[in-house]
Amino acid sequence: MLKKIDEHFVSLLTRICIPLVRFSFFVVYFYFGLLKVIGVSPAEAIVKELWSHTLPFIPFHAFLMFFGFFEMLIGIIFLIPGKERLALYLLIPHMITTFGPLVLLPQFTWKGFMIPTLAGHYIIKNVILIALGIGVASNIGEFRAKVALRKAT
C-alpha cells in the first residue's frame, strides 16, 4: 500500500515539476522586473552602483527600465510552452549581470571573506535559478528524446 502511494506521489511530482518551475521563474522574474519598472525595487541601489561601474554612458533611468522589462520578458517567455530554450538563452546574460556585483562591488556584497551581506545572499541564491534552468533545459522535448534514444542504443 505504501509503495503504491509513493508511486502515485512521485508520478504527480514528475508531472507538475517542470510546469511549476516554469511558473516559479515567471513569478520571480516578472515580479522583480515590475518592481524595477515602477521604481520600488529594493535592489535599485546596487543596480545603480553596478550601472555606474559598467554602463554610465546610458541614462540610469533608461537602463533600469530596460533591465526591469528584460526581467519581465524572461518571466513571460517561461510561461509560453515551447519557448523554454529562448527563455534560457535570455537567462544567461541576466545571470552574468546579476553575479557581477560579487566581483565588481565587493563593498556591497561581502562583509568579509566568504561572508556575504544581505545583498550578497540575494545574489548567491541565484545559483538555485541556474540549477532550475538546467532542469528545464534537460526536459526540453528534442533534448529529452535524443537522450532517451542514446540510452536505448
Share of the chain above pLDDT 70, in %: 92
Instruction: Please tell me the number of Cα atoms within 13 Å of 57 on its side-chain side.
Output: 0
Q: Comparing C-alpha atoms, which of 60, 49, 29, 50 is closest to residue 100?
A: 50
What pLDDT, on the 0 to 100 scale, is given for residue 94?
A: 95
The mean pLDDT value for 16-43 works out to 96
Burial call 66-104: b when 16+ CB within 10 Å, e when fewer? ebbebbbbbbbbbeeeeebeebbebbeebbeebbbbbee
pTM of the model: 0.84
pLDDT at 150 over 90: no
